[in-house]
Amino acid sequence: MPKIPIAKKEDYPELFKQNCKELEGIIDHSFNDPIYLYKALTHSSYSNEKKNRCIYECNERLEFLGDSVLAIAVSEKLFSHFSDRPEGELTRYRANLVCEDALYEYAKKIGLDCFMLLGNGEQNCDERHKKSRLADCYEALIAAIHLDGGAKKAKEFVLKSIEERMERAPESTAPTDYKSLLQQLVQNNKGEKLEYVLISQRGPDHDKVFVTRAVLSSNPVGTGEGRSKRESEQMAAKEALRLFGKL
């Protein structure tokens, strides 16, 4: 049985590659290796549909890296910009700037929904406008810029994205960030380790439900469901806070 090759630049659809050139102008970064951008925009539904012809790497691994790059860039900016604010306020500001609603806002601002590479089934369901999908794609794009252009370029991109929302941070009412509240509670008890474990997911790709468990030093303290992994983690943290009498 012949080995399925990894997709090269020439294997991607021509229209998609032309659109990527347009996106480069919008985000003000010309990729030295455009394959990073192609991967950032490729959803798993496309990868799965084409897996018998080529292996098109989807954006899930890049999303993982982008989440960390985003957090560092935002934390550094808040630390310097609000130099007189205490840690608790900075945590709330950051939660407001990196939550799913915020990432969706940043993605829509650059029209990211028009550039994603989705499978035919997802196209028919108009899934490119789904909030969690766009938020994930935005994080993957951050990682692609970071890997191609370096940390400075990625930080510039992030700071430009958050600029308007950050200026509203002190006045805005951020959605309750249960994970941050739980983390602050845990930090008061030295030696405790908090983690979130995805225990199941159900439903088709365009309508999945994720179930996550909050685990504190090997002890389950909360379980939550959501339409995205982020939402299920928040719900698990909320249940844990109720258990500890904090809600």
**Which residue numbers are catalytic?**
67, 139
Rounded to whole angstroms, how far apart are CA atoms 130 and 231? 14
74 vs 82: CA distance, rounded Å: 12
| C-alpha span between 73 and 68 (Å, rounded) | 9
Q: CA-CA distance, 135 to 174, in Å (whole number)?
A: 17
Straight-line distance from the first to the last Cα atom of the chain, in angstroms, rounded to the nearest whole number: 58
Matching residue, tokens 């900016």: 77
d(CA 134, CA 106): 9
Report the alpha-carbon distance of residue 103 to residue 161 in Å, rounded.
9
Among positive and negative, which fits the CA dihedral 105, 94, 152, 84?
positive
For the chain, the farthest-separated pair of C-alpha atoms sits apart, in whole angstroms, at 64
